[in-house]
């Protein structure tokens, strides 16, 4: 029976969260979509949805179904995981899903904290920073699907919510667990059902985690999960685990499939170009999934190896993404590239590739669905927030689902030195 039941709004985000839990001593399994049968055995089960950019009512329905499955399996606490850059539109989906989960759990209050200092996300006076830049100047203002142009998360979340949104400010979080509990009670009694919580250090996240021990619902990025395993250990529910992230070994050729257009991913592709065979698909020149996939299949022949990856990317800088979107519409442009990369991943696996890094949350969703992956067991981290995972698909293979913005510049090369 899982102790912690988690609902993640995209696939890389789910892996990021599961990785945080493994690092802090819980075994974790990521289920792809709402599980139909019995849940896999683990201390934490993370249900990975692809609900970040779908209409709000669908995101709510899927999240409630996931919540019901987790509660039915015995989960003692629910965590709703969204992006550390709060990726969403004004119509949703973070606010509507959080409010619906609060109602389902008959709970009065939850915190909302996307901070993840190890990856440069900090929240101060309700404002989200990525490194030293405000969210709205971090590159996220150009995101293909969820451009983030307002760094004030109290305002952003309030636009998505029926109820008023509060703030647990830096001074309270800095004062620690007891002060946070008092402020949460005060906010809840004054009618706030959600409050953005400031956090700029891991110590703040640990204090928030401890203060939320009794909360039915917690919402945030993977950072907010850091303190939760300790709550379960303190309650005598979770044993000390030596290696929560042990995975079976896998042999086979290796590849990277990239659909993220983030600055980090573009930099990683730039470095990989000098060290590994790299194909950059041009969706603007050839806006046709069949033709692009055929180009990739022809290119990969004779290049696959267990010693170094091939890299196949559709990623492009903002002006080229904008040009394709102007031509096809935003959703159709995204769908075209996702379909292409899902086919590319399937072609790689057909040719014996068994270790694959996928860059981008939406891209990962498309690839994982195409490969027929039902669940992923979470292993050790390559870089903060990106672990290797093992799946039974294709007779047993490893996948690393990289959030667009995560990973050092040499991530695509380093990953295969680890697994
Ligand atoms: N050349 C391109 N032109 C237009 N859209 C593109 C292009 N390349 C990729 N895309 C689309 O951009 C979107 C990128 O989203 P994705 O979630 O995969 O990456 P990300 O947002 O950087 O990652 P994360 O969600 O993990 O932060 C996808 O829908 C992808 O299909
Ligand atoms: O929180 C993050 O930044 C990531 O886990 C993510 O959700 C990317 O899609």
Q: What is the structure's pLDDT at 144?
A: 82
Residue whose tokens read 């990025």: 221
Q: What is the pLDDT along the chain (419 residues), one digit of tens a residue?
A: 899 999 999 988 999 999 999 999 999 999 999 998 888 899 999 999 999 999 999 999 999 999 999 999 999 999 999 999 999 988 889 999 999 999 999 999 999 999 999 999 999 999 999 999 999 999 889 888 889 999 999 999 999 999 999 999 999 999 999 999 999 999 999 999 999 999 999 999 999 999 999 999 999 999 999 999 999 999 999 999 989 999 999 999 999 999 999 999 999 999 999 999 999 999 999 999 999 999 999 999 999 999 999 999 999 999 999 999 999 999 999 999 999 999 999 999 999 999 999 999 989 999 999 999 999 999 999 998 899 999 999 999 999 999 998 999 999 999 998 66
**Residue 207 structure tokens:** 């204090």
Task: Give the closest residue to 391 by CA, choosing from 365, 355, 417.
Answer: 355
Question: Is the Cβ–Cβ distance between 13 and 363 less than 8 Å?
Answer: no
Residue nearest to atom 5 of ligand 2 (CA): 13
Q: Which of 386, 374, 401, 391 is nearest to 31 (CA)?
A: 374
Ligand 1 center–CA 336 separation, angstroms: 11
Atom of ligand 1 at shortest range from CA of 262: 22
Pocket test for ligand 2, best of 93, 364, 406, 407 (most atoms within 8 A of CB): 406
What is each CA distance from 27 to 1, 23, 237, 313, in whole angstroms?
A: 12, 9, 13, 32
Q: Is the CB of 221 under 6 A from ligand 1?
A: no
CA–CA distance, 234 with 236 (Å, rounded to integer): 5
332 three-class SS? helix
What does the alpha-carbon distance between residue 87 and residue 93 come to, in Å, rounded to a whole number? 9
Q: Residue with the nearest Cα to atom 28 of ligand 1?
A: 334
**Using alpha carbons only, how large is the chain's radius of gyration in Å?**
20
Whether 99 is in the pocket of ligand 2, judged by its Cβ within 6 Å, is no
Q: Give the model's pLDDT for residue 419.
A: 66
Q: What residues have CB less than 8 Å from 292, skipping those under 6 apart?
A: 281, 283, 286, 314, 340
Is 84 touching ligand 1 by the criterion CB < 6 Å?
no
For residues 109 and 37, the answer to whether their CB atoms sit within 8 Å is no
316 lines ligand 1 (CB under 6 A): yes
266 lines ligand 1 (CB under 6 A): no
Select from 334, 341, 368, 402 the residue to mutate for testing ligand 1; criterion: most ligand atoms less than 8 Å from CB.
334
Architecture of domain 4-234: 3-Layer(aba) Sandwich (3.40)
Hey, whose CA ends up nearest to atom 3 of ligand 1? Answer: 321
ipTM: 0.96
Q: Which atom of ligand 1 is nearest to the CA of 403?
A: 26
pLDDT at 418: 67
pLDDT of residue 142: 87
CA dist 175 and 270 (Å) reads 43
Question: Residue 359 in contact with residue 402, Cβ under 8 Å?
Answer: yes
pLDDT tens digits, 369-413? 999 999 999 999 999 889 999 999 999 999 999 999 899 999 999
Residue 83 CB–ligand 2 contact under 6 Å: yes
355, β-bridge pairs: 254, 398
Q: Which fold has domain 253-417?
A: Molybdenum Cofactor Biosythetic Enzyme; Chain A (3.40.980)
* CATH 3.40.980.20 boundaries in the chain: 253-417
CA-17 nearest atom, ligand 2: 5
Best of 84, 148, 258, 362 to mutate for ligand 1, by most ligand atoms within 8 A of CB? 362
Find, among 93, 84, 73, 142, the residue nearest to 117 by Cα. Answer: 84
User: Hey, what long-range contacts does 34-42 have (CB within 8 A, 24 or more apart)?
Assistant: 34/62, 34/65, 34/66, 34/69, 35/69, 35/375, 38/73, 39/2, 39/69, 39/70, 39/73, 40/375, 40/377, 42/2, 42/377
Residues of the chain with CATH 3.40.50.10840: 4-234
Distances (CA, A) of 114 to 122, 214, 341: 8, 20, 29
Name the residue of 10, 51, 83, 405 whose CB sits within 8 Å of the most ligand 2 atoms, as the mutation to test its pocket. 83
- Tell me: cis bond preceding 93? Omega within 30 of 0 counts: yes
Concatenating the DSSP letter of every residue in 78-124 gives EEEE--TT---BTTBSHHHHHHHHHHHTT-S-EEEE--BGGGTEEEE
Please give the DSSP secondary-structure letter assigned to residue 276: S
Q: How far is the CA of 360 from the centre of ligand 1 (A)?
A: 6
- Written as six digits, the tokens of 268 are 């990683």
Pairing of strands 375-383, 28-32: antiparallel
pLDDT given for residue 38 in this prediction: 87
> What secondary structure does DSSP assign to 159-217, as a single string?
HH-SS-EEEE-HHHHHH-HHHHHHHHHHHHHTT-SEEEE-B-SHHHHHHHHHHTTT-SE
Residue 334 C-alpha to ligand 1 middle, in angstroms?
A: 6
CB neighbours of 201 closer than 8 A, spacing ≥ 6? Answer: 117
The reported pLDDT for the residue numbered 71 is 97
Q: Are 244 and 238 in contact (CB under 8 A)?
A: no
Tell how far the Cα of 332 is from the centroid of ligand 2, in angstroms.
23
């Amino acid at each position: 029976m899982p102790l912690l039941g988690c609902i993640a709004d995209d696939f890389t985000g789910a892996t990021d969260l599961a990785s945080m839990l493994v690092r802090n001593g819980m075994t974790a399994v990521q289920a792809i979509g709402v599980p139909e049968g019995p849940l896999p055995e683990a201390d934490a089960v993370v249900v990975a949805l692809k609900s970040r950019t779908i209409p709000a009512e669908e995101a709510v329905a899927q999240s409630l179904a996931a919540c019901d499955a987790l509660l039915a399996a015995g989960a003692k606490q629910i965590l709703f995981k969204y992006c550390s850059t709060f990726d969403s539109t004004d119509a949703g989906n973070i606010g509507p899903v959080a409010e619906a989960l609060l109602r389902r759990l008959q709970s009065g209050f939850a915190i909302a904290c996307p901070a993840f200092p190890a990856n440069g996300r900090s929240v101060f006076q309700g404002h989200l920073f990525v490194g030293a830049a405000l969210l709205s100047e971090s590159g996220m203002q150009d995101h293909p699907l969820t451009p983030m142009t307002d760094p004030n998360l109290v305002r952003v979340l309030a636009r998505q919510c029926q109820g008023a949104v509060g703030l647990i400010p830096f001074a309270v979080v800095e004062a620690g667990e007891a002060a946070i509990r008092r402020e949460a009670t005060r906010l809840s009694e004054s009618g706030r059902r959600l409050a953005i919580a400031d956090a700029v250090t891991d110590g703040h996240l640990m204090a928030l985690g401890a203060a939320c021990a009794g909360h039915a619902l917690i919402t945030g990025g993977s950072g907010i999960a850091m303190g939760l395993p300790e709550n379960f250990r303190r309650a005598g529910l979770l044993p000390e685990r030596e290696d929560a992230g042990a995975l079976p070994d896998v042999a086979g050729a290796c590849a990277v499939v990239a659909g993220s257009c983030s600055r980090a991913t573009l930099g990683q592709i730039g470095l990989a170009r000098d060290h590994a065979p790299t194909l950059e698909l041009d969706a603007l020149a050839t806006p046709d999934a069949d033709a692009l996939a055929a180009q990739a299949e022809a290119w990969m022949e004779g290049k696959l190896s267990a010693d170094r990856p091939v890299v196949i990317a559709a990623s492009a800088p903002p002006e080229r993404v904008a040009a394709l979107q102007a031509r096809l519409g935003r959703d159709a442009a995204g769908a075209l590239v996702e379909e292409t990369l899902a086919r590319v991943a399937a072609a790689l696996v057909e040719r014996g590739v068994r270790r694959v890094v996928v860059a981008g949350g939406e891209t990962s969703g498309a690839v994982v669905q195409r490969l027929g992956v039902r669940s992923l067991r979470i292993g050790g981290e390559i870089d903060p927030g990106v672990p290797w995972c093992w799946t039974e698909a294709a007779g047993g293979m490893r996948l690393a689902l990289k959030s667009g913005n995560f990973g050092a510049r040499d991530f695509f090369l380093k990953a295969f030195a680890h697994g």
